[in-house]
Amino acid sequence: MQRYVAVIIIVLIFPSALLAWGFNDAIGNGSPIISVTSKSSAMGGVWSLPSSGAASIFLNPSELSMLDGTLINISTAIIQWSLTVHGVLDYDKYDSGSAGTVTLASGTEISDAVSIAAGITKVSDFRFNGISNILEEIGPGSYQIYAIDILDSHGTLWEANTGISVVLNDWLTAGVSGGIRFGTGSWNLRHDIVDPIALDDTTEVEWEESDFCFHAGVLMPFEFGTFGLSGTNATGRYRSRVAIGFQKEFSIMYGSTLGVEFDIQSIEENNPAVSGKAFANLTEMIPNVRSTYSIGFNRASDYHRAALCLGTGATISFGQVDVDLGVSWMSRSRAGFAFPEPFISNIDDAGTYYSAGLSWKL
């Protein structure tokens, strides 16, 4: 009994993990939006395990088999972030901003073994506004500003998908979904040289993409717990992803579950990004209210270092409608690269994710 109490205390102290927001990746693959629903955010951004109802067509479509009738999922979120850059002269540059996301999906079971769904969601953001001072060394330990780089980047990728799941037998359900991953974006890099005689330089790029995407996954429910496996393909500005997870019902508190998940992004590259999370969905300590907590890490590719992320969430039941609320926070410290680049020793990111949604059973 003491062991289970200790587990509950640890979970309550360390609430929800959210994958690190990629502030500096405003030109390449952008920042992935992992919270398809508020509940998936509170669970640490899980991909392979049940978290999103009809919206699972964007994660693991085999979850559609869990629909009991017709379900509508609506979710929206605001992400606020900040970035501080530490240079060799202890000169810090600060950037802040916000982005929004929304999900709309609907699904239904058409037989005891087959369920279908369709929906649309935002999957990544390319927003970044920042200033970098380009320094030159004029003597031992002495520097001066040579130029200023100003970057203004913004863009969005969306997915519009349909999916189907089939219960193959008592221990295996498979699902697949597909559609279009599309969006537009632009970035403007202005290089202002301090010397008034020198000519300034501006680089502008606009892009538009529309690529076929698909998701596939399985759920394997056993008496001792449920395994989940899912993945999605890479497109022009989006990373491939494979996730595997396991969850088990918590016998001391009937209806509660504990779970873990591990995933790999950019699986085709030599240095992929990896992340892991552990979560708990707790039964009703307050009538009609379920709470969710999780903790995890994210280590992106390139020069990034591992990040720890925290948060919490709750589901409030009103009969046929469940309201999901979530607040997640993340922090990351990493080496500087891409923009800003020269003379940068360290970059600290921090972001807070405020999300709300509902699941309406018709």
Structure confidence by residue, pLDDT tens digits, 99-150: 788 999 999 999 999 999 999 999 988 877 777 777 777 888 777 777 887 7
What's the CATH number where 299 sits? 2.40.160.60
Residues in the chain: 362
Alpha carbon distance 253, 39 (integer Å): 20
Alpha carbon distance 292, 43 (integer Å): 7
φ, ψ for residue 174, nearest 5 deg: -120, 150
Mean pLDDT of the chain: 81
DSSP character string of 166-231: EEEETTEEEEEEEEEEEEEEEEEEEEEESSTTSPPEEEEEEEEEEEEEEEEEEEEEETTEEEEEEE
pLDDT of the residue at 163: 98
Q: Is residue 358 assigned to a domain?
A: no
Q: Is residue 356 assigned to a domain?
A: no
DSSP character string of 326-356: EEEEEEEEE---SSS-TTEEEEEEEEEEEEE
pLDDT of the residue at 134: 73
pLDDT at 218 over 80: yes
Question: Is there a contact between 71 and 53 (Cβ–Cβ < 8 Å)?
Answer: yes
Q: Is residue 361 assigned to a domain?
A: no
pLDDT at 3 over 90: no
pTM of the model: 0.84
Q: Is residue 360 assigned to a domain?
A: no
State the residue range of the domain holding 283.
Answer: 2-351
Domain count, the chain: 1
pLDDT of the residue at 348: 67
Question: Is there a contact between 161 and 213 (Cβ–Cβ < 8 Å)?
Answer: yes
Instruction: Work out the average pLDDT over 49-76.
Output: 95
Q: Is residue 362 assigned to a domain?
A: no
- When computed from its CA atoms, the radius of gyration of the chain, rounded to whole angstroms, is 22
For residue 356, which amino acid is it? A
pLDDT of the residue at 231: 96
pLDDT of the residue at 121: 96
Instruction: Work out the average pLDDT over 267-286.
Output: 85
Element (H, E) at 88: none
Instruction: Work out the average pLDDT over 172-200.
Output: 89
pLDDT of the residue at 145: 78
Alpha carbon distance 203, 310 (integer Å): 38
pLDDT of the residue at 15: 35
Instruction: Work out the average pLDDT over 226-246.
Output: 95
Which residue in the block uniquely carries the two structure tokens 């002495």? 142
| Burial tier of 13 (Cβ tally within 10 Å: 0-12, 13-18, 19+) | exposed
**Cα-Cα end-to-end distance for the chain:** 40
Which of 100, 163, 109 has its CA nearest to residue 127? 100
Instruction: Work out the average pLDDT over 208-217.
Output: 97
pLDDT in tens, 322-346: 999 988 877 665 555 444 444 455 6
